[in-house]
Amino acid sequence: MIPTEVGTFLLKVSTVDNRKVTPEAIDSWADILDERITLADAWQAARDHFAERAGDYLMPGHVNDRVRIMRRARLDAMRTPEPPDTLDPDDVRAHLTWQRAYRAAIGDGHDEQRADEIACATLGVTRPPALTAVRPVVALVQQTADALPRIPRGDAS
């Protein structure tokens, strides 16, 4: 987190525990907090801390520990898809870079689609859009049947 986010976070925390937020405190917290922590994750960690450990003064280590657990849970719950076909299949480094970027995005709390976009952007590639049916099969069959010539009734000999 950058110092302005840390300041926002500490001001919000101060509404719960009445801590005094100073520029020095903000700088210290910014120095101690893991740089990958997002403001949303930090606040969730603080909420969990206050809900479960009433009376324990929230410290940067508490936030780091709780966010580490949150990130691990996200990563454990995910499956890593194959990198896009636009990557050279023989470029192992590119595949590993894509997977690391994807996992980092999931750890940061992004959904699978956004994580894929972030990982692709890391390497400057795009994933070709998936082929999807524009119209349901039933509609296509009906349209084809409607286009066939009609046999007049009574002439079916």
Q: Is residue 4 part of a domain?
A: yes
Which of the four pLDDT bands, split at 50, 70 and 90, describes residue 134?
A: low
Q: 140-151: b or e for each residue (b if 16 or more CB lie within 10 Å)?
A: eeeeeeeeeeee
Q: Highest mean pLDDT range out of 71-75, 121-125, 126-130, 151-155?
A: 121-125
> What residues make up the domain containing 19?
1-77
Q: Are residues 67 and 93 in the same domain?
A: no
Domain count, the chain: 2
Length of the chain equals 157
Q: Are residues 117 and 50 in the same domain?
A: no
Q: Are residues 9 and 25 in the same domain?
A: yes
Q: Is the pTM of this model over 0.85?
A: no
Given this model, what pLDDT does residue 133 score?
Answer: 54
Q: Is residue 36 part of a domain?
A: yes
pLDDT digits (tens, 9 = 90+) for 5-47: 999 999 999 999 999 999 999 999 999 999 889 999 999 999 9
Q: Are residues 43 and 90 in the same domain?
A: no
Sign of CA dihedral 119, 125, 128, 129: positive
Q: Is residue 155 part of a domain?
A: no
- Average per-residue pLDDT for the chain: 88
